[in-house]
Amino acid sequence: MDIASRPSEPAENTQVADAAPPPAAPPVIRREDYLPPAWLVPEVALDFRLGLDATKVVAKLSVARNPAGSGASTLRLNGDQIAPLAVRVDGLDVNDWRLDGSDLLVELNGEAHAVEVETALNPAANSQLMGLYASNGMLCTQCEAEGFRRITFFPDRPDVLSTYTVRMSGEKAQFPILLANGNCTASGEGEDGTHWAEWHDPWPKPSYLFALVAGDLVANHAEFTTMGGRKVDLNIWVRPGDEDRTQHAMDSLVNSMKWDEEAFGREYDLDLFNIVAVSDFNMGAMENKGLNVFNTRYVLADPETATDGDYDAVEGVIGHEYFHNWSGNRVTCRDWFQLSLKEGFTVLRDQLFSADMGSEAVKRIEDVRVLRIAQFPEDSGPLAHPIRPDSFQEISNFYTATIYNKGAEVIRMMRTMAGLERFRQGTDLYFERHDGEAATCEDFVKAIEDGARLDLTQFRLWYSQAGTPQVAAEMAHNGTQTVLKLTQTVPATPGQPEKQAMPIPLRVALFDRDTGTHSGEQLIVLDKDSQTFTFDGFTQPPVLSINRGFSAPVAIEFERDSADLVFLAAHDDDPFARYEAMQGLVVQHLVAAVSGKLDDAARAEGRAAIGEAYGSVIADPALDDLMRGELMILPAETYLAEQLPVSDPGAIHAEREALKAWLGRELAAPLKALHDRAVAVAYSREAAARGARKIKTQALVLIACSDPAEGARRAFAQYQAADNMTDRQGALMVLASLDAPERETALADFHDRYEGNALVIDKWFSLQAGALNPKVLEHIAALAQHPDFTMTNPNRVRALYMAAAANPKAFHDASGEGYRMIGDLIRRLDPINAQTAARFVPSLGRWRRIEPVRAAMMRAELERIAALPELSRDVREQVSKSLG
Ligand code: PHE
Ligand code: ZN
């Protein structure tokens, strides 16, 4: 409780509280301070004696002075929450070591030594899920970014590459399966029911790629033969009982391995590839060399328990982690400021892979939607940072949409400018030049520059400047000439008040209004503050289609008639541009509506245009249903808020809901017909059937908005008839937002049916927390008390609270109760799992962009957190930046 809420407290107490020293700010790490390591560690031998609540680790490091280092005789070994039980140098116990904070410093005189350190760990007590921890009776590790130092003392930085040999022993009954990176070189039985295994990884790697897993696991096994003829054993390890849900992951793995050979010429380099699924995991998955560790949600899938979206996510993440074997492992990062070197590139690779496995157009639209919802707000808020940051306090806070998704967009622009063939020459050169190295973003750009023969001098600004560029377009027509004037501004971001113009590659096409065609797409590059581009051959003003395929991650500002947008929504031959025109139509209308700029006539006119475009999307026989479903998705509330300097979330929500209800009424007959048609399509994983499921729920949402009784009836019928999770979840989502008797019945049935299936119970929490139900805040409070809720499982915490934080109806409730709920969560979760707690801060950090009454309440929550004497570095950094 804070001081302000205890008015009866005597004033002296406030004085005492004020006198306490303010919590120390964590030190700032800067990119420009990079120094090569003084000592290298060519080889490591680790010996683990495993136990759930007591594990002993003996680490033998062969260390050698780095010729490129400072020459310092002190060896710095990072540690975190561990103590050295014994330190030996060249076989002798030494006293010549000391602790500097949590680091272990050892004085060494020679050029090379053997340093041995013993540590003891309690994995069962490790709720942070970094280092070695227990999950459902099994042991596993997570070392990226700085988790290895929670296992043993080590130069825990990505530019120290070592060859690892790992021996582990433990009770056979408890840990029948023993895994680490590389290949198993020996194994055997020990005394008292123990057994042991030895693993060797021939590829030198940084400590963040180390992994060990021990537990009762079963594998789905397959084989893959690489293009060079290497036979690779593939295993997906899960808890007994889950093996029937691993086939899609296995298919995705085989497809990934094949695709990387074809698309990037990258071949796998070990005889074994293991994936382990764990249910307690902070992130999606981890690319440890030869031993990927996955959150169960990106492995397990079958039609009964996983939606089509879940299937796509499994495929994408399996691909992502596999692709890291080259973009991340064979070529790793010099330091954590270079994180986007591996993450941006690997996200681009997984996006291209998923596009090739399914619909390129739909994948592009989905990727842009994620960018706009997750990255644009980051880029325009207090936590904005370039894709290659200049400083940080806690690296875990930098696994962001900017590093990942904007990072991918930046590399995609190089690909667009070079063309596919030359881009491939660039990536080939990158892998050839830097294989086995810890590289920088600059190394990547240089390799693309040389290999693809591009001049990227000015383009490098994309790596150093934060903020989403705004491109204003104006078009003038006279005679037969059309002049397009483009002006770019890159907004100021924290620490970067002034920006320079960046090269912005824009794919454009000009349409003739009468024929509905264009004479060819062009790539223009805007690389000055302002520039004009001239087009000939139009006798009347053409319709501009710009940033087609979303060729640059920018916001285009272009005032235009609804008629032009309706035209492009119906005629553009670039599917992304068609989607963009639909979005633009709705965005223009809703932004005007919430800004109070629409009188009744203008509102009616705007709605009519949207209704017309929507109606033709529903009716167009040339569209496949997956694409139709994409076109029917209205712009998200966060994206609408981005269009305004300061927004009222209540007004945005009300206007958007009103439009949905209007569309539901206006198009009642075609929507019902669409729903009926989709309901009649049988389940399969084919695109046509997936499309049918997508539009089925889209139609249902709009029907329920305009006619709740009819919506409830149809949703309940869809729920009861469902033979797959996509239909069942879609129906339950609609019911969860309604105040109908069917709601309780279906929710209770869902819980009964899937009791004990953690991933599906997560959905049960999410659907309720994300619902537009008037009582949603009460529901969330009750769910937090539900016996199935726990603060120690990140998936469960996210299921309830991420859904709540992303639900404007809950989070932005005018009472401020939503803010309080997230503030309380952060304070309670921080001591348990700081990384996960910190991920909830940005939602409150948006306060400057929200209307003043809510903004004050959001800020107050941040201050309440900041006032805590004990805060993790993770939360401290995010909160202080959000207040600063
Ligand atoms: N490197 C992982 C990925 O993107 C993400 C991750 C980071 C996982 C930190 C765990 C911890 O694939
Ligand atoms: Zn990654």
Residues spanned by CATH 1.10.390.10 within the chain? 338-464
pLDDT at 1 > cutoff 80:
no
**pLDDT confidence bin for 379, thresholds 50/70/90:** very high
Residue type, 450: D
Could you tell me the CATH superfamily of domain 338-464? Neutral Protease Domain 2 (1.10.390.10)
Residue 10, pLDDT score = 36
Nearest protein Cα to ligand 1, atom 2: 286
Ligand at shortest distance from the CA of 145: 1
CA separation for the pair 752, 843 (Å, rounded): 33
CATH class of 39-216: mainly beta
Query: What is the rounded (10 degree) CA torsion for 510, 512, 515, 516?
Result: 40
Matching residue, tokens 């060819």: 520
Share the mean pLDDT of the chain. Answer: 96
Nearest CA, atom 11, ligand 1: 144
Phi and psi at 117, nearest 5°, equal -135, 140
Of all ligands present, the nearest one to the C-alpha of 794 is 1
Q: Which ligand is nearest to the CA of 284?
A: 1
Q: What is the Cα–Cα distance from 401 to 805, expressed in whole angstroms? A: 17
- Rounded to whole angstroms, the Cα distance separating 111 from 71 reads 10
**Closest atom, ligand 1, to C-alpha of 282:** 10
**CA of residue 283 to ligand 1 center, whole Å:** 6
Report the 10 Å Cβ neighbour count for 684: 12
The pLDDT value recorded for residue 534 is: 97
- Tell me the per-residue pLDDT of 784-800, one tens digit each, with 9 for 90 and over: 999 999 999 999 999 99
pLDDT tens sequence across 271-280: 999 999 999 9
> Which part of the chain has CATH 2.60.40.1730?
39-216
Q: Which of 423, 456, 403, 412 is nearest to 547 (CA)?
A: 412
User: Can you tell me the mean pLDDT for 19-33?
Assistant: 80
Cα-to-centroid distance, 347 and ligand 2 (Å): 7
CA of 208 to the centre of ligand 2 (A): 13
Q: Could you give the CA distance from residue 415 to residue 427 in angstroms, rounded to a whole number?
A: 10
Characterize 427-461 residue by residue with b for buried, 16 or more Cβ atoms within 10 angstroms of its Cβ, and e for exposed: bbbbbebbeeebbbbebbbbbbbebbebebeebbb
Closest ligand 1 atom number to CA of residue 145: 9
pLDDT at 402 over 60: yes
Per-residue pLDDT, 26? 85
- What percent of the chain is modeled with pLDDT above 90? 96
On the CB side of 367, how many CA atoms lie within 13 Å of its CA?
29
Best residue among 286, 298, 343 to mutate for probing ligand 1, ranked by most atoms within 8 Å of CB: 286
Tell me how far the alpha carbon of residue 430 lies from the centroid of ligand 2, in angstroms. 18
Burial class (CB in 10 A: 0-12, 13-18, 19+), 823: buried
pLDDT in the model for residue 12: 36
> Relative to the CA of 324, which ligand 1 atom is closest?
12
Ligand 2 centroid, distance to 41 Cα (angstroms)? 25
Residue minimizing CA distance to atom 3 of ligand 1:
286
Distance 144 CA to ligand 1 centre (A): 7
Q: Is the pLDDT of residue 376 over 60?
A: yes
For residue 5, name the pLDDT band (cuts at 50, 70, 90): very low
Strand order in the sheet with 212-215: 131-135, 138-142, 212-215, 177-180
**Ligand 2 (ion): which residues have CB within 5 A?**
343, 346
Q: Residue 665: what pLDDT? A: 98
Q: Which of 819, 815, 808, 798 is nearest to 862 (CA)?
A: 819
Neighbouring residues of 158: CB distance < 8 A, sequence distance ≥ 6: 206, 208, 332, 333, 334, 335, 336, 438
Which atom of ligand 1 has the smallest separation from the CA of 320?
A: 12
Please check the confidence at residue 223 and state whether its pLDDT lies above 90.
yes
Q: Whose CA is nearest to atom 12 of ligand 1?
A: 286
Q: pLDDT tens digits, residue range 494-521?
A: 999 999 999 999 999 999 999 999 989 9
Q: Which residues contact 828 (CB under 8 A, 6 or more apart)?
A: 791
Give the Å distances, CA to CA, from 655 to 165, 560, 593, 651, 663. Answer: 61, 21, 7, 6, 12
Nearest residue to 500 via CA among 478, 524, 467: 467
Ligand 1: list residues with CB < 6 Å. Answer: 142, 144-145, 283, 285-287, 320-321, 343, 399
Note the pLDDT of residue 23.
64
- For 800-817, what is each residue's pLDDT tens digit? 999 999 999 999 999 999
The residue whose C-alpha atom lies closest to atom 1 belonging to ligand 1 is 286
Render pLDDT for 630-641 as a digit per residue (tens, 0 to 9): 999 999 999 999
Atom number, ligand 1, closest to the C-alpha of residue 281: 10
User: Would you state the pLDDT for residue 4?
Assistant: 36
Atom of ligand 1 nearest to the CA of 321: 12
| Substitution candidate for ligand 1 out of 128, 208, 399 with most atoms within 8 A of CB | 399
Region label for 818, one of left (φ > 0), alpha (ψ between -120 and 50) or beta (otherwise):
alpha
Residue 861: predicted pLDDT = 98
- At 856, is the pLDDT very low, low, confident or very high (cuts 50, 70, 90)? very high
- Interatomic CA distance for residues 297 and 253, integer angstroms: 15
- The answer, yes or no, to whether residue 390 has pLDDT greater than 60, is yes
786/285 Cα distance (integer angstroms): 28
288 CA → ligand 2 middle, Å = 11
Tokens 């009519």 sit on residue:
608
| Annotated catalytic residue 861 | no
Give the CATH architecture of domain 470-558.
Sandwich (2.60)
**The two structure tokens encoding residue 808:** 């404007």
**Closest ligand to 285 CA?**
1
- CA-based end-to-end distance of the chain: 23
Tell the residue nearest (CA) to atom 8 of ligand 1. 286
**Closest ligand 1 atom to Cα of 287:** 12
pLDDT tens per residue across span 129-173: 999 999 999 999 999 999 999 999 999 999 999 999 999 999 999
Which residue has the least CA distance to atom 7 on ligand 1? 144
Ligand 2 centroid – CA 411 distance (Å): 15
Catalytic residue (one of 287, 321, 637, 877): 321
Closest protein CA for atom 5 of ligand 1: 286
CATH of 3-33+755-884, one of 1.25.50.10, 3.30.70.260, 3.40.470.10, 3.40.50.300: 1.25.50.10
pLDDT tens by residue, 412-453: 999 999 999 999 999 999 999 999 999 999 999 999 999 999
Predicted confidence at residue 519, as pLDDT, reads 87
Choose the residue to mutate in 144, 278, 299 for probing ligand 1, maximizing ligand atoms within 8 Å of C-beta. 144
Q: Is the pLDDT of residue 11 over 80?
A: no
Q: Which of 715, 668, 674 is nearest to 691 (CA)?
A: 674
Rounded distance from Cα 285 to ligand 2 centre (Å): 8
pLDDT at 21 exceeding the cut of 70:
no
494: how many CB neighbours lie within 10 A of its CB?
14
Q: CATH 2.60.40.1840 spans which residues of the chain? A: 470-558
Looking at residue 25, its pLDDT comes to 79
Mutate which of 146, 209, 287, 404 for ligand 1? The one with the most ligand atoms within 8 Å of its CB, which is 287
